[in-house]
Structure 1
Amino acid sequence: MSSFADQLLVLVMLINLIMLGTSRLMFSIRAVAAQGVILGILPGLIHPFSGHLASITVGIILAKGVAIPYFIGGAVRKAQIRREVEPFIGYVPTLLLGAVFTALSFVFAERLPLAPEHRDLLFVPASIATLLCGFLILTTRRKAISQVIGYLVMENGIFVFGLLLTEAMPVMVEAGALLDLLVGIFVMGIVINHISREFSSIDTSRLRALKEE
């Protein structure tokens, strides 16, 4: 099972690079939804089956793979945008940076004092790589929706690392983390809605033109 889990983690990292290299917002939303489904499957591969595990798996898939991407997709359709036109950094340089960060994640993970049972797994390098790629999306894109996607990718990286600590985390902590994520998405949705309504654009760089009267 661990080898299959590692294959899924490799797929997660490939999805990171795909999102860094595309300008199509709906494609990025589908990619982050696919990441959510994969993250929902992973707990069942590393922990013994139980009713609690099944409920957590279904909840993660529904939240990360269905509900949140659906809400973001609705925001994209309402704002009538399809692409991230002018990112702060071009797609090719961003993709190259993502590849470099992914490689450095493996180097950094090898230097960490990990438990013996975790040393040969890809959870730590995959979590660091996903966190860094999400940060790249968050900081190099102009559209607010793209930045929300970057935030989701960063949260996915934190979630991957948390899978190694599931046995030490009570259910309420897991539920609280998911609630924080949902609240963050709804808040960003409200911000996006107001920006689009007032300025007919969700390019966050234009907010610099705001001045106090």
Structure 2
Amino acid sequence: MHHQSLSQQQQRPDGRFESAYVAGNSTAARPSWEGHLRLSLLTCPVTLWAATSEAETVRFNRINPETNNRISMVTVNAGTREEVERGDLVKGFQVAKNEYVLFTKEELDLVETESTKILDIEKFMLRSSIDRLYLDTPYHPVPSGKAGVEALAVIREAMRKQQMVAIGRLVLSQRERLCTIEVEEDALQMTTLRTEAEMRRSLTQDRRRKAKTVARPGQGDQSPRRRAGR
């Protein structure tokens, strides 16, 4: 996976501002997310661009050597071995062996997480208090328009004064995600966070984490509110 660095903001001929990273990468066809970054009462229109690329990954196709043609994957019923049209398929959740609860697209749409298009900064934490295992996918928040550049600069400087990492929340790809937001020179970098359920710790790591929690249950709470109350 190739990491894309974010350089200074530049203005396009149409008046919009974007990073040189975006302007200089033809593979960055569209942003991963568009909305507003919000810190208290201050909001800033931003787009999120992937900070990594898999464009240079070597990929292979399955070829029939006798004809030199690519093969087509066929959807087959696992029980009857009969071919099934993809358009006739629905999603199912397994509750027991060979037992599934089926859901139509309409039913899934009803429970789909609503995208508010808001990236909310909820609190600040010390960078050292965040386990590296939680860090998932990095993105570059890029301001939209001149007003966005000015607002983002205010948010960035407020974060720089805190000397801490912001913890935010947003809906990305129909899933609510927590993320870190930190200052990267004159820009920001956002990284989504994995959940505890996604962690696969070694036995030693798990024992140390549990021992630390039992011995020092309050340690690691470095929010500005706690610090101010000391």
Alignment TM-score, normalising by the size of structure 1: 0.24
Looking at CA atoms only, which structure, 1 or 2, has the larger radius of gyration?
2
Normalized per residue, the structure richer in helix is: 1
Normalized per residue, the structure richer in strand is: 2
Alignment TM-score, normalising by the size of structure 2: 0.23
